């Protein structure tokens, strides 16, 4: 079942955020992702504040009062460079999409993404951006299967 955010699930949401970070640590061949002790509490606060300040939403996938997936979306803020260089259409941004590792591939991520897309459409967003960590091939494949394309890239060199 997909529901809107409810504070009673905060601890489970924090656990999912940690699960995602641990996954990113595991796939990071440069070993730049790190597990700081304060991550669990602080990333949750950061995400909640973005949702409040940037017209965002949180949707949860639950079964028997257990959160097995979540998506967090916000409306991007445009800076001065954006205003000088592009059409500045209202843009949604998915900042977190997590499905518990042991149940991935069952359609939960797709349902969460569709729900967020509906929200962004309802508030007149013209596009959606999602940042994907390059080593996360499974994530990139998931988004491509859901009609997302690579539009911007950051290239890096380890020195």
Mean pLDDT by 10 residues, the chain (159 residues): 98 98 96 93 98 98 98 92 78 97 95 98 96 95 97 91
Chain mean pLDDT for the chain: 95
User: Does residue 151 fall inside a structural domain?
Assistant: no
pLDDT tens-digit readout, 7-33? 999 999 999 999 999 999 999 999 999
Number of domains in the chain: 1
pTM of the predicted model, to two decimals? 0.94
**DSSP assigned state of 135:** T
User: Does residue 148 fall inside a structural domain?
Assistant: no
Q: Which residues contact 156 (CB under 8 A, 6 or more apart)?
A: none
Q: How many Å apart are CA 88 and CA 159, to the nearest integer? A: 35
User: Does residue 158 fall inside a structural domain?
Assistant: no
**Taking a C-beta distance cutoff of 8 angstroms, is the pair 1, 61 a contact?**
yes
Domain of 107, in residue numbers = 2-143
User: Does residue 92 fall inside a structural domain?
Assistant: yes
User: Does residue 12 fall inside a structural domain?
Assistant: yes
Q: What residue spans of the chain are helical by DSSP H?
A: 10-27, 39-53, 80-85, 108-122, 137-145
CATH of the domain at 126: 3.40.630.30
User: Does residue 153 fall inside a structural domain?
Assistant: no
Predicted local distance difference test score (pLDDT) of residue 86: 76
**Nearest CA among 41, 42, 23 for reference residue 33:** 23
User: Does residue 77 fall inside a structural domain?
Assistant: yes
User: Does residue 152 fall inside a structural domain?
Assistant: no
């Amino acid at each position: 079942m997909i529901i809107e955010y409810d504070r009673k699930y905060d601890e489970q949401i924090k656990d999912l955020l940690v699960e995602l970070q641990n996954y990113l640590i595991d796939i990071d061949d440069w070993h730049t992702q790190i597990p700081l002790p304060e991550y669990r509490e602080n990333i949750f606060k950061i995400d909640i504040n973005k949702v409040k300040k940037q017209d965002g939403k949180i949707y949860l996938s639950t079964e028997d009062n257990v959160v097995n997936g979540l998506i967090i979306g916000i409306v991007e803020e445009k800076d001065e460079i954006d205003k000088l260089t592009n059409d500045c259409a209202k843009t949604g941004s998915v900042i977190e999409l997590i499905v518990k590792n042991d149940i991935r591939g069952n359609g939960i991520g797709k349902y969460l993404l569709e729900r967020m897309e509906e929200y962004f459409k309802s508030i007149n967003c013209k596009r959606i951006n999602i940042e994907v960590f390059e080593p996360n091939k499974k994530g990139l494949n998931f988004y491509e299967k859901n009609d997302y394309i690579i539009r911007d890239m950051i290239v890096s060199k380890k020195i």
